[in-house]
Amino acid sequence: MRARFTWLCFSAVLLAGLLAGCQADKTASFIGTDLTGTQFGKPLSLTDHTGKLRSIDDFKGKVIVLFFGYTHCPDVCPTTMSDLKQTMKLLGDKANEVQVLFVTVDPERDTQEVLAQFVPGFDARFIGLRGTPAEVAANLAEYKVYAAKVAEPGQAGYTMDHSAGLYVFDKTGAPRIYLGYGEKPANIAHDLQLLL
């Protein structure tokens, strides 16, 4: 009888441990692509929408969400920025530990003044970054981001064809997650919470 009771207690403890382990594994996995251990993105050095030179190192101690886009974008960029705004709401007070950086792929039109109106319009904590065409191109290459001008037929203007994912860095500045375009705010918040 005592042996049976001991076995039941052991089985209950083992089952509880297994269930806890499964739960821990479930909450520890990213929805986005895990970039842990990759080596890229270190040289980011651009000017923010207030005129201050910035690098990834300036934001150590915060989870960084990096997005490459442009202010004249008709759909992808404002949608992504709106999703990030919603993500910050979902994070509540923890949102203060997150820094969203918007890097323009169109430095010719996205002046400091234009970025200063566009980027904080979604959330006052968001920062817009720009540089010379050569500086922007160097950063695009580092992050393997595609960007190219596309002429609009019959018009003098152009659009920018570009990659549209989110790069997420942990509080030490290490790359951790890549989230593709269209990821829901709840999923973005889930992954950020794991780093917070």
Fold of 33-195: Glutaredoxin (3.40.30)
Whether the Cβ atoms of residue 83 and residue 184 lie closer than 8 Å to each other: yes
What per-residue confidence (pLDDT) applies to 43?
66
Q: Where are the domains of the chain?
A: 1-30, 33-195
Tell me the per-residue pLDDT of 163-173, one tens digit each, with 9 for 90 and over.
Answer: 889 999 999 99
pTM tops 0.85: no
What per-residue confidence (pLDDT) applies to 21?
41
Residue stretches of the chain with pLDDT short of 70: 1-28, 41-43
What per-residue confidence (pLDDT) applies to 7?
35
What per-residue confidence (pLDDT) applies to 64?
97
What per-residue confidence (pLDDT) applies to 1?
40
Tell me the per-residue pLDDT of 25-60, one tens digit each, with 9 for 90 and over.
Answer: 444 699 999 999 988 766 688 999 999 999 988 999
What per-residue confidence (pLDDT) applies to 157?
83
For β-strands 53-55 and 45-48, DSSP reports them as antiparallel
Beta carbons within 8 Å of 128's beta carbon, 6+ residues apart: 48, 49, 101, 102, 103, 104, 110, 115, 116, 118, 119, 120
